[in-house]
Amino acid sequence: MAQKTIAGHSVNLTDEGYLEDHTQWNSEIAKEIAREEGIELTDKHFQVLEFLRKKFEEGTELTIRKVGKSGIADIKELYRLFPGGPLKKSSRIAGIPKPTSCV
């Protein structure tokens, strides 16, 4: 666990850079993490992030297929929005733990 200041907030991160406490997340933290990933967030990105956070809080196990069937973005669009690992990157930006389905 490492401590880091992101968007002016001191947060604890896992060794892989995910927030330890998802309740510390806010849109400014999301924007800064996304910039680290080379992603400029749009409204569509935030729709995906809010969906992920809602499902995580409900206890739903997240998979790329479930997100693709959300009606927000299909799988191809998820890869365009979050290139190089859409579920892994979007989860990190959403401030939730890395899904077990991600390597």
Catalytic position from the list 11, 30, 102, 103: 102
Q: Does an H or E element contain 44, and which?
A: helix 43-58
Say whether 102 is catalytic: yes
Q: Does an H or E element contain 95, and which?
A: none
Q: At what angle do helices 43-58 and 27-36 cross, to 10 degrees?
A: 110
User: Which residues 6+ apart lie within 8 Å of 30 measured at CB?
Assistant: 41, 46, 49, 93, 94, 95
Catalytic residues: 102
